Structure 1
Amino acid sequence: MALIGDRFSRILAAKAPSGKTLYYPLAAPQNEVYNPGRPACYDTKDLPMRTQESYWETIAELEKATTKKDQSDITRRTGVSRLPLCAASPAFLHPTFFPIDPFHLFYENCTAFLWDTMTAPKDSQDQIHFSKSAQMGALIPLAMETLPPSFCGPVRDVHLKRNSQFKIYEWMAVLHWYFIPIAIELALNSIVLSTFAQFVEIIDFAMTIKPRSEKDLEYLHDLITQFLTNYERLFVANDPAKLHHARLCIFQLIHVPIHIQWNGSIRLGSQATVERAIGEAAHKIRSKKAPFSNLESIIYRRELFKILILYYPDLLPASFKSSPKNSSKPMQAHRIAWTKLAADSTLSTDLDLLSLYIGLDIRQKSTKTTVLRWGKFRLPNGNVLQSSLSKEGMANGNLIFGHAWAFYTISTDSTSPPRTLAIYTPLISVTTTSRIPRGKWAVGQLAVVEVAKIRSLVGIWTGVNTKGVYILRKHPGLDYLATDERGVEAGDLVEDEDQDEN
């Protein structure tokens, strides 16, 4: 096992009192006893990074080695085992050529490891930081009832199914939506919770597609350093016997800012895109005698087609052109029975609110007003609003969350465009705990909002103890997964056709 196992830096691994496994803390407990020669503490702003020059020097050493033992010693000392085939590429540059895969590192490695660290002690000396993991696991499948089905597929009980091929999108759901709200309700230790919230903020920051300045990346670097320090204080606790909690996957978070600087986005390192492209190409290969020549022809034709489309856009088949589906429109029409309105009916209340909002009594027959009622509304981004919405406040720019009850299209005359409005119940007393908005419904209170001001569809979860309503926003990582990779059934993405209700 290599003493330098990190692909991007040359920090020395640390040995535990027992066993040959190596770990990667910033500061190893009793370092002078178990790891003489290793710095007492690494400065995250001055890590010894790998370089192209040192890499080729190591390759030269490996080529000069005359025995397997010599090669093994070099590999153990440097972490470099051989020259990869891709080094023949003119683009090969070490260590930037092999980027971090965010989906595997963030979710399948770090999130899964953090869950195990907090809930499943490796031995009797480990402190169980979250003893209510069974309760949390049972609550997660129930919470799916108030999550929009277009977000992702069903999320299983993480306590029972953690070792049953728990999928990436399920770890995403645990990390971004459910762990913090449920942990708050189940009274998880506040220090552990705040440390986990730092980890969530790191992933949110890294996965969001947004231009980042040097100041932004410096903030992210400081946040990761703070998280690593707090993590080691909690789970290693200056005890050499707990060094197994300092896994390489946790340490590699420190390289996320530099990867964003190198590539513009950490998401470009995803293996999922490459694996998907390889799979699609493999399915098109028909030649058994010369599969690689066949693959070369497939790739050439595909790239040629892309170039032709740039010059002649009209050649693009109609099925590939942008669809008008992403235009906003109301859906699922409901007929308004004007002759049967009761003074205290829900519909009558809605009409009163709408009249007050637009400054015109829309129930007066003398006005040339057309009112249509709808059950759903599709936003320009493709999301369909059914029961939950968020809108941007006009006064202070803060987000206001609400539960939509109905949508109305009102035309006051033939010369003005119709106005589409929503009747909703606002979420009030909204506070933010560990970066998760939480509030309560304004029972009995209704308000009106222009649908054009609605920003996005959100999910909710109601706390089992506080009864607070937690807002679950669709996180950016989901958009990078194919439909089947996030467990969404085809029917969940098919928009409902407009239907008249008699």
Structure 2
Amino acid sequence: MGYTDEDLEELWRKAELADIIDSYEYINLIRNASLADRFSTSTLSPEALDRLKNPRRGPPPLADADLELSMKMFFTNITEDAYAQIAQAIRQREPNVKVYTHHQVKKHIENLSGVEPIWSDMCINSCVGYTGKNFDLEKCPRCFEPRYDPVQSRIAKKKVPQQRFVTLLLGLQLQSFFATLEHAELMQYRVLKTEQNLHRVDVEGRPIEVFEDVFNGKQYLDAVRRGDIKPGDPVLMFSIDGAQLYASKQSDVWIYIWVIFDVPPSHRYKKAYVLPGAVIPGPRKPKHLESFLFPGFHHLSAIQRDGLGLWDPRLDTTYISHPYLHIGTADGPGMAFLCGLSGHHGRMACRLLCGTPGRHPDGSGHYYPMLQQPTFPPGLIVPNSMHEDLDVRTLPKAGDGDYNTIIERITECRTNAQYESVRRDTGITRPCIFLGLPRDHLLPVPHCFGSDCMHLWTFNVGDELIPLWHGEFSVKAPDSRNGWTWGALMDKDEWAKHGQLVANATPFLPGSFDRPPRNPAEKIHSGYKAWEYYLYLYGICTSILFGVLEDRFYKNFVELVGAVRILGQFRITLQQLDEAQEKIYNFVEGFEREYVDRLPERIHFVRPWIHVLTHHVEETKNKGPPICSSQWTMERMIGSLGQELRSHQSPYANLAQRAVLRSQMNALSKMYTFLGVEDPVNKLPMGSLDLGNGYVLLPKREKSPKNVSTAAGIAIHLAMEERGIESVRRPRILKWARLRLPNGQVARSVFKEATMNVARGIRMARNIKITLENETRFAEVQYYFQADEDQTFALVSLYSQHDEHLYRESLGTSIACEYHGERELRVIPVEDIKSVVALVLHKFPHKETPSFYLIEKPGLEIAVLTGVGHDELAEIDDDAT
């Protein structure tokens, strides 16, 4: 019918009340799900249904040795044509080798992995999926487009759907985690950590004082105590997000994944252990999300109720498990879809349902979580915006709203007017699909919803603060940008200078810092990534904005930075949480005071993310560190699947196929060692030397010892004398170029980087954080060497102590040092090196000469936990000699 987006929006708006009825019908179908009902038996083969209850006892045998070769070739991510050409070349060269056809090996992979994709028809306009109550429909109930393509169906002489989406069922993928002893033992991580935490709290009577995983969270421990989570029950996170495949054209696609908390964090967030759940094509976003989630959630409910069969190779026994859904997360708009909220402009917009009301400007229906009462003109009454000031320190906690009572009110609505009133007062538009899952296998709604720190700390913060400073943020009369005293970057030249300072930092950022932020003056509107925002806001801005932003706005910003740096860690102490909470309070109060000043025309400055930030500390105590259940994992999944696209004419179908292959490959890699995923952290290049405790010397290395400079010779001689090691005043040293640290980073040296091709965009990795005489210092590595086989050292040049004035004024968020070169040479054991850091050259306004400001990898654990690669594999190629 050729509907425009505007036509579809009108149709979908009229269907809002129908959405509530549809949602309940889907929830009831999920509530009564079974592996024996029509939705299971019509989509899964009898073999798969049987395997869900009676799992394989170990990997199935391969048909023959030649299948191994074909599978290896299949998973190299080459096109079908390329596969056929290589297969033909092998047959001609080795006629005795059986090379399976692409189709044959694909069928073997599906059978061996046990992962059967579920393909479901959907509306061509993404209104609904033909699942559940829509299973037998012939046309879309919203836009009335036909389900099947009339032309293609006539040609094929069978019904050909206009569009399909794929679901990859959780249970079939979960069983692969128990295929071998090695992976079954990995799955015991959660049980062991839980036992330790419960013993500490319930037996020893000591509180949790360090939060380093979801198992430290109060809500998880309470669920274990209730018996909802048992030792053999996998604990899950559901994560969904929309993705833009191409920057230049409409290409929205929605993806969801499952994360298994039972696996250690060192493995949990890597792509071999993250389970694809579904790929829902665009280019429009799904309108009735429940119909697209139905196949996956129906299956989850079925295995929660009927049980999922798992084989434990440790005991050579089979048992029935009941997976537990602990956290569901999405970005802001996605969360509104997922949990049935009115969206971020609703009066009760908090996605964690705390019940804090918003305010709206006169004449606008958009609400904002402004705490202070605006100073409306005398005599003007703005309904729902005149309540007294709210104290950020006494706001309701997440989940304080009575969700079940609100849902009952929604169901009693019979007219659009009633519905609009309830939606405005409660912030809920329809019941959440999670309500269909068994209550004892789910953290209750809304507590099960995550806070999505990734989008908040990056896109949300960056999309507001940068436009405010740059003068791009929307302005409403009688307000004028001319009065924005915070607009230090409004001048065109100042903005260009700021952008260049960001770009200038790139050579100083080690490769292990991943993607460097591009020049925001040129690229911030060109697909700026979450990680770019993270490094830009929390690494670079605290230094380059010092003396640029007026002091009160700068202080407000660094309060936010300090809080995020704490919450972005994997290991957070109670004391640090208290510090972060105070910084958040200071930021929120200061933001309204300094930027909004009770002006009605600035109500829209107080965006929802500012309110959500207030819940982060309490949610950390409930669910563990935010990064453990964030969207970082989804971000990496979207990126890695997007990189595998091989067909840009049909990207959605190709992306769905890549997701299917990813899930099958993940399953097979846990069964067969020849497909095992190598851990780059444990992969050592030729010529490396393992020093133990996670330290490894990496090539290059000089072929023979050589004389060192006079200053270096003195430093080495004194250090060796101090340690009782025989040495001459000017020793001959065999230099090593690089050192891999226990955290996976590679620390290079001047000896290494002085020989590298600068034109290739080499990024400096020779600056390190060290412990020297029980004090944290920063240094530049000259080279590494061994005094004997048991003792390895680094010759370093110490940077000065940090600038105390800058440190104090930035509330500890900016550290700057001066470089001393050969004047401060020291010899340190390599064990004193803690991490690779960036030290970026910059001229601060209060200093006469340039110095170097520090950037530690923001939340170093984020990269480890989300599967971001380290830089050593690229360096192996550099150092092939």
Shift of 1:255: 0.7
1:5 aligned residue: 349
Cα distance 1:28–1:159, how it changes in 2: closer, same or farther (>3 A)?
farther
Letter of the structure 1 residue corresponding to residue 367 of structure 2: L
Secondary structure, counterpart of 1:15 in structure 2: coil
Task: After superposition, give the CA deviation of every residue in 1:349-372 in whole Å (9 maximum; x if it has no partner).
Answer: 32332122111563489xxx9842
**Structure-1 residue corresponding to 2:603:** 243
Q: Does 1:145 pair with 2:503?
A: no
Deviation at 1:216?
Answer: 4.1
- Out of 459, 465, 484, the position equivalent to 1:108 is 459
Cross-structure match for 1:347:
709
Residue 236 of structure 1 aligns with an amino acid whose one-letter code is V
* Deviation per residue, 1:262-313 (Å, 9 max, x gap): 2111113323425766999999xxxxxxxx9xx999979978997x99xxxx
- Per-residue deviation, residues 303-354 of structure 1 (Å, max 9, x unmatched): 8997x99xxxx9995846972545421431124565xx5xxxx534323321
CA distance in 1, matches of 2:555, 2:679: 46
Contact 2:717 2:729 in 1 (8 A): no
- Residue 22 of structure 1: SS of its match in structure 2? coil
Counterparts of 1:347 and 1:455, CA distance in 2: 27
1:257 aligns with 2:609: no
Other-structure match for 1:402: 779
- The amino acid of 1:101's aligned partner reads D
C-alpha spacing 1:111/1:277, structure 2 compared with 1 (3 Å): closer
TM-aligned CA deviation for residue 454 of structure 1: 0.9
395, 418, 428: which one aligns with 1:70:
418
Partner of 1:170: 532
Whole-Å separation in 2 of the counterparts to 1:12 and 1:221: 21
Note the residue ranges of structure 2 that are not aligned, 5 or more in a row. Answer: 1-344, 645-655, 685-693, 749-765
Match of 2:404 in 1: 56
Q: TM-score, normalised by structure 1?
A: 0.82
In the alignment, the residues of structure 2 paired with residue 461 and residue 296 of structure 1 have an alpha-carbon distance, to the nearest angstrom, of 43
State the distance in 1 between where 2:584 and 2:609 align.
Answer: 13
SS of equivalent residue, structure 1 residue 428: coil
Q: Are 1:332 and 2:700 an aligned pair? A: yes
Change (3 A) 1:149 1:320: closer
Which of 20-29 and 225-234 deviates more? 20-29
Matches within 5 A, 1:489-500: 492=874, 494=876, 496-497=878-879, 499=881
The 3 A distance-change label for structure 1 pair 421 and 496 is farther
TM normalised by structure 2 equals 0.48
Aligned to 2:495: 133
* Structure 1 equivalent of residue 735 of structure 2: 373
Give 1:388 deviation, angstroms: 1.2
Change (3 A) 1:60 1:17: closer
- 2:567 is matched with 206
Match of 1:270 in 2: 630
Number of aligned residue pairs:
468
User: How far did 1:494 drift?
Assistant: 4.4
Assess if the C-alpha contact under 8 Å between 2:372 and 2:390 holds in 1.
yes
Shift of 1:68: 2.6
Question: What is the CA–CA distance in structure 2 between the aligned matches of 1:270 and 1:51, rounded to whole Å?
Answer: 19
> What does residue 362 of structure 1 align with?
727
Unaligned runs of 5+ in 1: 284-291, 412-416
Give the counterpart letter for 1:421 in structure 2: F
Hey, what's the Cα distance between the residues in 2 that align with 1:321 and 1:457?
A: 18
CA distance in 1, matches of 2:641, 2:502: 37
Residue type at the aligned position of 1:105: L
C-alpha spacing 1:100/1:139, structure 2 compared with 1 (3 Å): same
- Measure, in 2, the Cα distance between the counterparts of 1:330 and 1:304: 32
From 818, 824, 834, the equivalent of 1:440 is: 818
Within the candidate set 469, 472, 479, 2:864 is matched to 479
Where 2:627 maps in the other structure, the secondary structure is: helix
The AA in structure 2 aligned to 1:427 is Y
Aligned to 1:414: none
Name the counterpart of 2:284.
none
Alignment partner, residue 93 of structure 1: 444
RMSD, aligned CA: 3.7
Match of 1:81 among 421, 429, 433: 429
In 2 relative to 1, CA 319–173 (structure 1 residues): closer, same or farther, beyond 3 Å?
Answer: closer
Q: 1:392 aligns with which of 761, 764, 771?
A: 771
Per the alignment, in what secondary structure is the counterpart of residue 328 of structure 1? Answer: strand
**What residue in structure 2 maps to residue 287 of structure 1?**
none
Amino acid at match of 2:350: D
**CA displacement at 1:492 relative to structure 2:** 3.9
Identify which of structures 1 and 2 has the higher relative contact order when contacts are C-alpha pairs closer than 8 Å and 6+ apart: 1
In 2, the alpha carbon distance for the partners of 1:229 and 1:483 equals 35
1-structure distance, mates of 2:857, 2:516: 15
Q: Is the 8 A contact 2:705 2:734 kept in 1?
A: no
> Residue 587 of structure 2 aligns to which amino acid in structure 1?
F
315-324 vs 187-196, which moves further:
315-324
